[in-house]
Structure formats: C-alpha cells, structure tokens
Amino acid sequence: MASSLLNTVSSSIRLPNSSSHRCRALPFATPISLSRSRRRFTIRATETDANEVKSKAPETAPAASGSGFNQILGIKGAKQETDIWKIRVQLTKPVTWPPLIWGVVCGAAASGNFHWTVEDVAKSIVCMMMSGPFLTGYTQTINDWYDRDIDAINEPYRPIPSGAISEQEVITQVWVLLLGGLGLAGILDVWAGHNFPTMFYLALGGSFISYIYSAPPLKLKQNGWIGNFALGASYISLPWWAGQALFGTLTPDIIVLTLLYSIAGLGIAIVNDFKSVEGDRKMGLQSLPVAFGEETAKWICVGAIDITQLSIAGYLLGAGKPYYALALVGLIAPQVFFQFKYFLKDPVKYDVKYQASAQPFLILGLLVTALATSH
C-alpha cells in the first residue's frame, strides 16, 4: 500500500508550465519530473540544469524590519532569509506543530495506559516528532508548493514564490519528511508490539489526506467544506488516534467523538482562509469567505468552533461527567470573548492575535475531553 501511494505521489508531483492549470507554475523554474527505477527514486530537472537553480534572496519583502522569530515559526512578518536551513524550517511552519503534539498527549491520556516511565515518555516524544516536525512539516511544505501562485498574489515574499528556495530543494524536503514520518510510525508499531501496524497506517492515511488536500486533481481545499473538515480532522482526530493507539486501544466511540470534535477544527481552518481571499477568488478556489462572503463566513467559523464544543460538553453531561462538562464550558467562554474582541472585528488584521489568544483554551478543552473519556 505504501509503495502504491509513493508511486501515485511520484507520478503526480509535476510542475506545469501553463498558468491556467490548477496546479500553478513557479515563475522562477521550469518543470521537473519524478521517476522510479528498480533501484532508487531519482529526481531530474527538465530543460534546466539543476546546478544552475540556486537559492536566491527574495525580491519582495513584507517589511524592511521583518522578524527572525516569525521567520522560524513560518508566520506573517517574517524576516527575509538566504540561509537554506532556516528557509527549510520556515516551510514546515513550526507554529502549526503544537496542536498535533497536543493531540498525541490527548490520545495518550484517553488511553488510560500512559505512565510516567522513561519508556512511555520516550514513545510519546517519538510520536510527537512523527506527528509534528515530520508529517505536519510534510503537509505544510507540499501545501506551500501547490499554493505557490496564490502566495505569489497574497504573500509574494514567501520562500517558494520569491525564489528563496529552488524547486528541487522543495521536492527533496517533501520526500525526506514523508519517508521520515512513515519510518517513525513503523518503529512505533514495533516498539508497542502491535500485531497490526496501526501507527503506520494512521501515518499513511494522514499523509494521503494531506496530499489530496493540496494537490490536483482532487485538491480538497478547492471546496471550503470538505477541505476544511479534512484539515480539522488531520489536526484533531489523527494525532489523538495515534496517541491512543500507541498506548491503548482505538475504539469506535472515540473515533466518532473525535471526528465530531473535528468540526471545531473546520472552524479553525476557516480562520486562515480570510487572508487568501484575493488569491482564492482569482484561482477559482471556493473557500468559505469566497463562497459566502466574508461577513457570513466569520459567523460560520465561530459557530462551528463554539457549537461543536458545547455539543461535546452536552455529551459529557449526559455521560454522567458533570464536572468535566462544566470545565469544558468554562474553557469555551474565553474563546467567545476573543472572537468578539479580535476575530469578528477584523479576521485578517487580528488573525494571529485571535489564534494565539483563543486556541490555547480550545486545546485545553481537548485534554479535558480526553481525561473524561479515560475514566
């Protein structure tokens, strides 16, 4: 199954010249193709000598006084860099790793079998590395690759559209992160003594969803509902499942509960759509702010986040866990406050402030739910 997926990705990652194709072309490079021989994967450049494609300094900066801290995290206001390793880290967007790492913590807590031993802590750290730096880094890099023409409109100073990193360097990074994440998943299966490689297949499935989310022909992100739910499930359900499967048993009721919780993740994903409205509209992507208008999309976003969590609180109350339900409601209240203070006022101007202020309470709510289900 893994071989089939790699062949699919290998044959699909092609960089077209036509600007009208949904998979947009980079202005600074010519197409490449990937081929697989019996002995190894090879990457070859067509019409361009790979040695001539060098990293170069971006020509357009967001601000003269960009932040080096923002650059490493992969967020707006980044300092322009020419150091290739700093650029590589930027592409993985470390700011997006914490929810995945936290999801592993929630899954381990929900299993009821995590113990503060050296072995269990080591297992959890490896699982966090798989979920965060490797597979989330893979997801973010491949998403930036297929969004390069939209970023050329909305954020032309980003590493790929600006030419700060070459096409071959990007493709190499995608493969290293993907294969590294799958390799760690396999190691965890052996370490946990699984008869069925649960961790490997969870990693493989998540990687496949990440690919079809960004890449044509499916490109799930073209549809605001499907794409955002897939993103939400990848950030909430998958790491939880990985943590629980590593230390215990992944049960059907937990799968359903976390998929429902992923509707809140759908709302979080909408937050990032507002800054890309201009590019999405030009490229024909039906993000919810494009499809419904920014005002309506704002309320869809906060509704998905708040109603989902209130529904989970109701479930916990009905399951005879009133204190957990009350704690979850208490964590929803500050999220609503920050929605009115920041997000509903201006989702583009205050997106970073809103997410930094409100999301810690959402992920604490995930842990409350995980602890409730473990008892």
Q: 131: which residues sit within 8 A by CB, 6+ positions away?
A: 100, 101, 103, 104, 238, 239, 242
CA atoms of 22 and 286, how far apart (whole Å):
13
Instruction: Write the pLDDT tens digit of every residue in 69-109.
Output: 888 888 777 888 889 999 999 999 998 899 899 999 999 99
The tokens describing 319, both together, are: 């399951």
pTM of the model: 0.78
Stretch 178-205: mean pLDDT, rounded?
Answer: 97
Report the pLDDT value the prediction gives residue 65, as an integer from 0 to 100: 64
Instruction: Write the pLDDT tens digit of every residue in 102-142.
Output: 999 999 999 999 999 999 999 999 999 999 999 999 999 99
Least confident of 23-32, 146-155, 320-329, 366-375: 23-32
Using a 10 angstrom Cβ sphere, with 0-12 exposed, 13-18 middle and 19 or more buried, the burial of residue 50 is middle
Report the pLDDT value the prediction gives residue 116, as an integer from 0 to 100: 96
Report the pLDDT value the prediction gives residue 172, as an integer from 0 to 100: 97
The tokens describing 159, both together, are: 């590493």
Report the pLDDT value the prediction gives residue 70, as an integer from 0 to 100: 81
Report the pLDDT value the prediction gives residue 358, as an integer from 0 to 100: 94
Report the pLDDT value the prediction gives residue 278, as an integer from 0 to 100: 83
DSSP category for residue 67: B
Instruction: Write the pLDDT tens digit of every residue in 214-257.
Output: 999 999 988 889 999 999 999 999 999 999 999 999 999 999 99
User: Are 314 and 325 spatial neighbours (Cβ–Cβ below 8 Å)?
Assistant: yes
CA atoms of 202 and 239, how far apart (whole Å):
9
User: Are 200 and 185 spatial neighbours (Cβ–Cβ below 8 Å)?
Assistant: yes
Percentage of residues in the chain having pLDDT higher than 70: 82
Q: Which of 75, 354, 114 is nearest to 240 (CA)?
A: 114
Instruction: Write the pLDDT tens digit of every residue in 251-278.
Output: 999 999 999 999 999 999 999 889 888 8
- Whole-number CA gyration radius for the chain: 21
Put residue 47 in one of left, alpha, beta given phi > 0 → left and psi -120 to 50 → alpha: left
Report the pLDDT value the prediction gives residue 155, as an integer from 0 to 100: 82
CA atoms of 131 and 134, how far apart (whole Å):
6
Instruction: Write the pLDDT tens digit of every residue in 313-352.
Output: 999 999 999 999 999 999 999 999 999 999 999 999 998 8
Report the pLDDT value the prediction gives residue 32, as an integer from 0 to 100: 35
- 3-state SS, 83-131, equals CHHHHHHHHHCHHHHHHHHHHHHHHHHHHCCCCCCHHHHHHHHHHHHHH
Instruction: Write the pLDDT tens digit of every residue in 19-61.
Output: 333 333 333 333 333 333 333 333 333 333 333 333 343 444 5
- Tell me what the pLDDT averaged over the chain comes to: 84
User: Are 243 and 222 spatial neighbours (Cβ–Cβ below 8 Å)?
Assistant: no
